[in-house]
Each structure stands twice: as structure tokens, then as C-alpha cells.
């Protein structure tokens, strides 16, 4: 039944492979717990069984946000069962979800990314130029890691100064790119075309072996870079996405424009960055206003 549900998400809801895998992982973990502890599956689970799973997961150190996400996956599963098979019982209906502390997005201070004295030196090679271009593209566009690895060669429009990005649920969006970034992309292509063997030519960024980039490599590239320019605790590609949005907002960009650039389906997802902007405004006010 879970596999049928996942097929529905992929084929009818048009969810990305990454999202479907996340649903599979969450549902399988719950299913395994139910089987091991109560000898049943998700279809026969009760409110008490699921509450027991939730308590045990939290006591085992699973974060509140992860538990809440897995319950959300379950709710979607039962909602689908009701729609397709007419099953009304939803054992998650009365589950009291754990509270999640509100956390502001982590971002890098502006000076650490644009000041020349803070810029690490990249090797004058395919990998070096590629890594530098990747970091700059994340900061210049705010695209997601999966969107960068999936970027196609024909998705970059050098004449219009834009890239076509395939986001969540296979939704396409156009993201503008400035002249310095376009120049960096062109410089990378000079090295890319010199690779001895290109096995997946349709993708823009490639490994030394000519294959499509993989998530762990992209994470390592960004982590190594941020470790040299910042002392922040989190050093992932998503931090550069947060940084892009925060810096745009601090410079006066309209929040609706940022929403479109990030590919958010709801403005609520973008509004988290206004908290960071308010903190910036408070600093300016306190340091500048005579009666602050």
C-alpha cells in the first residue's frame, strides 16, 4: 500500500524523486516500528500505537521536527487512502504533535562573501573553477542543491542573463543572473569542455570523470568554502540560499519578488526571512536614532 501511495505522489502529484524518497524513508521507519512492536502495519495502526511510536522516537533522541515531518507523511498517506479506497479511519487525527522551537535561518554576513580579503584561493583547474562557480551561483541565485545538480547545459541563457531552474514538483522558474555571474559560468565552461571524457554532457556542472554532480560532493564543496570564510555552525548549500534571501531583503528587495526567485509556493515560507531583516533594522535603529 505504501508503494502505491508513493507511485501516486510521483505520477499524479508530480513530486520529485528526492521528496518521494523522503516519504518512503519516513513511512518505512514507522512501519518497521509498528511491525516490531505491535505486529501490524500502517493500514491497521491505531492512535495508541502511533502515540507509542511518537513517544519512543522522542525519547530516543529523534528531533521534534523529524517526528512532526513523519506524522505529516502519515497524514498524507491516510488522506490518500480515504480518497482512493474510502477508508475513513485516520489514527493520526488526535495525535498531539511536539512543539518545535522557532529558529531563524542561519546566514553568512555580507562582508565574508564579497570582500576580496576573505575569498579563498581556488585552484586554476576544472575542479577549482567549478567549485568557485558553484559557491557563487548559490549565493547569486538562491537555488537549491538539487536544482544546481540538475541544471542542464541548455538551461543557461547567456543572452538574456537568466537560468531555467527545475524546482520542487518539477516546477520550472526563471532566475535572473548578473553579468559577473554569467562571466564566471562562461569561464567554467572553458574548463568543462577540456575534460577528457564527458559521460553526461547534458548537465552543466560535472565531476572530473564527466558525470553529473552528486549531493555529497556539492555539500563538501560548500562546507569547505564556508569553513574558510565564516564561523557559523551550519555550512551547507541551504545556508547560502538563506544568505541570498536575507541579503536581498536587507537591501530592500520586495518579499514577493524573493518568493518567486526562491520558488516558494507560499509567501509564508518566505516570511521567515523578515525576522532576520527586523534584527538588522533594530541594530541600525539602536546605533543611529538619538532616542534609541
User: Does residue 166 sit in helix, strand or coil?
Assistant: strand
Does the active-site annotation cover 173? Answer: no
Does the active-site annotation cover 275? Answer: no
Q: Any idea how long the chain is?
A: 292
Does the active-site annotation cover 197? Answer: no
CA dist list (Å): 98 to 91, 94, 191: 16, 13, 50
Does the active-site annotation cover 139? Answer: no
Of these residues, 69, 168, 173, 212, which one is catalytic? Answer: 168
User: Does residue 62 sit in helix, strand or coil?
Assistant: coil
CB 273 within 8 Å of CB 242: yes
CA neighbor of 133 nearest in space, from 118, 122, 142, 144:
122
Of these residues, 144, 192, 235, 242, which one is catalytic? Answer: 144
Does the active-site annotation cover 241? Answer: yes
Of these residues, 70, 130, 235, 241, which one is catalytic? Answer: 241
Of these residues, 29, 119, 212, 238, which one is catalytic? Answer: 238
CA neighbor of 168 nearest in space, from 74, 269, 27, 79:
269
Does the active-site annotation cover 8? Answer: no
Cβ contacts of 83 within 8 Å, gap of 6 or more = none
Q: Catalytic residue positions? A: 144, 168, 238, 241, 264, 273
Amino acid at each position: 500500500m505504501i508503494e502505491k501511495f508513493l507511485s501516486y505522489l510521483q505520477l499524479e502529484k508530480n513530486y520529485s524523486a528526492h521528496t518521494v524518497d523522503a516519504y518512503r524513508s519516513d513511512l518505512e521507519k514507522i512501519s518497521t516500528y509498528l511491525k516490531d512492536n505491535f505486529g501490524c502495519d500502517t493500514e491497521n495502526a491505531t492512535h495508541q500505537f502511533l502515540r507509542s511510536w511518537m513517544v519512543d522516537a522522542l525519547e530516543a533522541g529523534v528531533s521534534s521536527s523529524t517526528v512532526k515531518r513523519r506524522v505529516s507523511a502519515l497524514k498524507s498517506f491516510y488522506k490518500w487512502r480515504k480518497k482512493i479506497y474510502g477508508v475513513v479511519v485516520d489514527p493520526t487525527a488526535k495525535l498531539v504533535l511536539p512543539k518545535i522551537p522557532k529558529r531563524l535561518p542561519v546566514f553568512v554576513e555580507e562582508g565574508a562573501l564579497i570582500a576580496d580579503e576573505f575569498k579563498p584561493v581556488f585552484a586554476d583547474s576544472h575542479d577549482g573553477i567549478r567549485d568557485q562557480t558553484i559557491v557563487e551561483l548559490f549565493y547569486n541565485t538562491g537555488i537549491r542543491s538539487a536544482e544546481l545538480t540538475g541544471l542542464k547545459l541548455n538551461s543557461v541563457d547567456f543572452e538574456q542573463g537568466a537560468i531555467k531552474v527545475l524546482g520542487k514538483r518539477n516546477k520550472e522558474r526563471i532566475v535572473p543572473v548578473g553579468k559577473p555571474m554569467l562571466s564566471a559560468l562562461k569561464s567554467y565552461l572553458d574548463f568543462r569542455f577540456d575534460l577528457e571524457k564527458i559521460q553526461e554532457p547534458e548537465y552543466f556542472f560535472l565531476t572530473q570523470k564527466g558525470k553529473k554532480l552528486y549531493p555529497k560532493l556539492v555539500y563538501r564543496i560548500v562546507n569547505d568554502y564556508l569553513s574558510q570564510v565564516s564561523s557559523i555552525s551550519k555550512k551547507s548549500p541551504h545556508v547560502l540560499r538563506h544568505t541570498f534571501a536575507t541579503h536581498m531583503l536587507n537591501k530592500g528587495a520586495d518579499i514577493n519578488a524573493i518568493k518567486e526567485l526562491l520558488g516558494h509556493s507560499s509567501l509564508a515560507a518566505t516570511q521567515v526571512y523578515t525576522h532576520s531583516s527586523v534584527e538588522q533594522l533594530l541594530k541600525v535603529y539602536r546605533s543611529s536614532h538619538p532616542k534609541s
